[in-house]
Amino acid sequence: MQTIQGGVCAAKGFKANGVHCGIRKNKTKKDLSLICSAVPASCAAVYTTNLVKGAPLTVTKAHLADGTAQAVICNSGNANTCNANGVEIAEQMSALLADALGIRAEDVVVASTGVIGLPLEIEPIAAGIPALVQGLQDDGSADAAEGIMTTDTIKKEVAVEFTLGGTTCRIGGIAKGSGMIHPNMATMLVFITTDAAISPAMLQKALSGDIANTFNMVSIDGDTSTNDMVTVLANGMAGNETITEEGADFTAFMQALNTVTVQLCRLIASDGEGATKLLECKVTGAADLPTAKTVAKSVICSSLLKAAMFGADANWGRVLCAIGYSGAAVDVDKIDVAFRSAAGTIEVCKNGAGVDFSEETAKTVLLEKEIEILVGLGSGDASATAWGCDLTYDYVKINGDYRT
């Protein structure tokens, strides 16, 4: 397996584009994106656990009842959530795009991101669709990635090449996510494409199994959005034998999917609103997987720890505090904690108690852009990883006037 360029256009048969249609006031920012497959594709999706859900999710769920899709349309700048005519707008987006592409409206995945509770007009979207379709390119992934951004500061694209039964396949994705991100289908939009042939049922199984250890292990601020959605389209154009059951090919596909999703998780976490650092909590020695995941998520969600990491303060007591209230059954007297970065590793806690360490060295370690928080529980062989970011002054600035 190797990393390649191309994002959602890396796989055969996929084109993409992004344009400014007028939803966002800033004309320099793209606000409407399209991903299209040359042929109908198997499609799987997972959605936010928030009881308040964006209208596009309702429409997409209905469209994907048959497990197939051919195109994805997504606008930014407006979440189309809590609107009286939200479903109607989402359906109109699908119908207008379907007419322009010559496909079924039921084969359109529709998504929106942005401000909640703000009326969304169909006029700018309708006016932008012709240019959106006409501008579809084999290398349009970057434009599509830009069109789904809200407070994101970087475009998030990943792609890899792998083999299934001797056939070369590709899988790639784009994502948006910077704020309102918390475990249990963390708030984000992720669109993944592959030219591998896999049945809708097995694709759904792969995606549902993967997010438990990837997107559900990301937290920026403890808020779960209304519009989260991760979709995967598999058009089969690589020509491999269709995956219809578990086996070597399904395992290889899962590994490729996981490679893409983990990298997208890291990009999302590193680009948290106002963030200056990517935090990665690695828990080892847990009695079981649920314990490892609970501990990792609790540590990464701690506002006090996140603030300490922003200040490059090796306040390891906040790590133990987060473990203590996580609800996980752990032996406190066996917990080890260390911080690691490109500048080195420093042990700060052994068997639940502090150890002598150099504050100067610790600060050097914690001033790096990527920090690993290493937690050893000393009670078993299970492990888990969670991703987050530091908590900075800018997070409050961004969200203090997000709507106005």
Write out the catalytic residue numbers. 187
DSSP string, 317-362: HHHHHHHHTS-----GGG-EEEEEETTEEEEEEETTEE----HHHH
Q: Is the CB of residue 170 less than 8 Å from the CB of residue 12?
A: yes
Look up residue 279 and give its two tokens: 């935090």
- Count of CA atoms in the C-beta half-sphere (13 A) of 22: 11
Total count of residues recorded for the chain: 404
Q: Is the CB of residue 188 less than 8 Å from the CB of residue 387?
A: no
Return d(Cα 256, Cα 279) in angstroms, integer: 23
Q: Is the CB of residue 242 less than 8 Å from the CB of residue 198?
A: yes
Q: Is the CB of residue 106 less than 8 Å from the CB of residue 66?
A: yes
Name which of 164, 158, 159 is nearest 252 in CA terms.
164
Distance of CA 196 to the CA centre of its chain: 21
DSSP string, 152-215: -SS-EEEEEEEEETTEEEEEEEEEE-SSS--SSS-S-EEEEEE---B-HHHHHHHHHHHHTTTG
- Which of 126-137 are b and which e, b meaning 16 or more Cβ less than 10 Å from the residue's Cβ? eebbeebbeebe
- Count of CA atoms in the C-beta half-sphere (13 A) of 357: 23
Instruction: Supply angle C-alpha 291, 292, 298, rounded to 5.
Output: 90
The amino acid occupying position 389 is C
Return d(Cα 137, Cα 140) in angstroms, integer: 5
Return d(Cα 109, Cα 45) in angstroms, integer: 10
Look up residue 251 and give its two tokens: 């395992």
